[in-house]
Structure 1
Amino acid sequence: MYQENYQCIAFERSDKVLTVTLNRPDVMNAVNRQLHAELARLFTDLQDDEAEVIVLTGAGRAFCAGGDIDWMQEGIDQPASFERTATEAKQIVFGLLDLEKPIICRLNGDAVGLGATIALFCDIIIAHEDARIGDPHVSVGLVAGDGGAIIWPQLIGYARAKEYLMTGKLMTAADAAAMGLVNHAVSAAALDAETAKMAERLANGASKAIRWTKVSVNIGLKQMAHAIMDASISYELMSNLSKDHQEAVNAFREKRRPVFTGE
């Protein structure tokens, strides 16, 4: 069974619904090399699963805190490894778009960087109202190349998207729902019930009609992703080699604010 090949992702089935959990709770489900590789093949594996609906969530108090800082240093020290990362990044985004089954994001906590990208490419997002969402790639000296440049403008428009992507600031799920970035922001007490209600409705619906509606809606997004992804990932690769990125990683480890020089 494919599930046995995953170390950082857990699976739990309930009738027609499969809950898929990012499972590195001790580091807020931050993405390291192993989890990134698993995410790159996850959505292809789910295509053949017998479930009708996928619920994607995170273990512990966060959905996903973005890139693991040690993995970032590895990318700086071994730039060639970023080529594999770039390929996997495209596989993650297109895997989310190509999976015909509806994906509900149960946003149980903060979704940052790649974590936000994964959440926002889901079909329906039900969030804990106090969870924070943002794509602070620029805060660590990187281009928001792994999907943020594609999905944010489609959800909240170019002006707002550029503000959040170029500053890296976070917003609460309540604010995100108000501007249309996520579908619903609910209390912690209501999160499970609201997610289960949506999953049950989709699981008991006309599955072919639901799947093919998703496929139809995603045609435009896939075209845009094909047009943008290679360039944005290439820019991120170049920013990985910058002095500002190394400075940001150093500052994170030293618990201080980075001093950027534009190099």
Structure 2
Amino acid sequence: MHTPLTGYTRFTFTRDDRVLTATITGNNPVNGVDEAMHEELARVFTDLQRDPDSDIIILTGAGRAFCAGGDFDWFDEQIAHPERFRDIGWDAKRIVTTLLEMEKPIICRMNGAAAGLGATIALLCDIIIADERAVIGDPHVKVGLVAGDGGAVIWPQLIGYARAKEFLMTGDLIPAPRAAAMGLINYAVPTAELDAKVAELVAKLQGNPKWAVRWTKVVANQPLRVLAQQLMDASIPYETLSNMAKDRAESVAAFREKRKPNLTGE
């Protein structure tokens, strides 16, 4: 089935033979996730899988960031209208499940900061190659939210529960070289070498029989797919509840105003 990659406002697509690069192109300098991007993320991986003219996907970001998490204007809308947060639950699950269901290999070219949902998307890719100046982390808690959009699924599988819980509960960002050293990502390379490293991995994948590579990924992802189905039905409701807490609004306001939040525990 041919599904043209059209109608997207937060992604651009380029092709090099049978390699397709999908570039996150947000409406802000750090490719923060707004409502439009969230909706497109819930369908783009299905469309990429169905694209008949590609065998390998490279996912990257435009400008100086990969994807730096939620857009703060969208946060304000969610706080003022909690039903809008509730309404994105279906799409939130589909972002994670469709990315894990993709059969085509997907390489993350992490050109800059990957935070929150951006970090989840990066880590759910098959091979993550980062600019050594980039940082990665899941600071949901810093804006008053449960790390419910996939962080609790993938982080413990990559670096173990002790370290994963530390970073998910503190929201600390990790420099790419340290992330590579702990096994969170595959490589951290100098900026000038990023494209060459991506091309090297693409060539290695292309040098093997397509279906052997593709179905090896399917088998390896099976436990993650089961885990995601189990956890997301709990994590999304918890995240929805945390959006209605008083400290959520205060955390977002404090972040905007570059001050320490006055947290009450409510």
State if a TM-score over 0.5 links the two structures. yes
Q: Is the 8 A contact 2:10 2:27 kept in 1?
A: no
1:203-222 correspondence runs (5 A): 203-222=206-225
1:1-263 correspondence runs (5 A): 2-24=4-26, 26-49=28-51, 50-263=53-266
Partner of 2:58: helix, strand, or coil? strand
CA drift at 1:25 = 6.7
Partner of 1:21: helix, strand, or coil? strand
Q: Is the 8 A contact 1:53 1:199 kept in 2?
A: yes
Number of aligned residue pairs: give it. 263
After superposing the two structures, state which structure 1 stretch, 201-210 or 148-157, moved more.
201-210
Partner of 2:69: helix, strand, or coil? coil
Q: Is the 8 A contact 1:75 1:82 kept in 2?
A: yes
CA distance in 2, matches of 1:145, 1:80: 17
For residues 111-169 of structure 1, the C-alpha deviation after alignment (integer angstroms, 9 at most, x for no partner) is: 00010000000000001111100000000010000000010000000000000000000
CA distance in 2, matches of 1:2, 1:85: 24
Partner of 2:6: helix, strand, or coil? helix
Gaps of 5+ in 1: none
- Identity rate of aligned residues, in percent? 59
CA distance in 1, matches of 2:4, 2:79: 32
CA drift at 1:81 = 1.3
Measured on the aligned residues, the alpha-carbon RMSD in Å equals 1.1
Partner of 1:19: helix, strand, or coil? strand
Partner of 1:2: helix, strand, or coil? coil
Q: Is the 8 A contact 2:176 2:188 kept in 1?
A: yes
Q: Is the 8 A contact 1:25 1:61 kept in 2?
A: no
CA distance in 2, matches of 1:25, 1:175: 30
CA drift at 1:260 = 1.4
Gaps of 5+ in 2: none
CA distance in 2, matches of 1:91, 1:70: 23
TM-score normalised by the chain length of structure 1: 0.98
Instruction: List structure 1 runs of 4+ shifted beyond 6 angstroms.
Output: none
CA distance in 2, matches of 1:106, 1:146: 21
For residues 36-84 of structure 1, the C-alpha deviation after alignment (integer angstroms, 9 at most, x for no partner) is: 1000000010111120000000000110110000101111111111123
Q: Is the 8 A contact 1:25 1:60 kept in 2?
A: no
CA distance in 1, matches of 2:27, 2:184: 25
CA distance in 2, matches of 1:89, 1:161: 21
CA distance in 2, matches of 1:12, 1:4: 12
For residues 90-116 of structure 1, the C-alpha deviation after alignment (integer angstroms, 9 at most, x for no partner) is: 110011100100000000001000100
Q: Is the 8 A contact 2:30 2:66 kept in 1?
A: yes
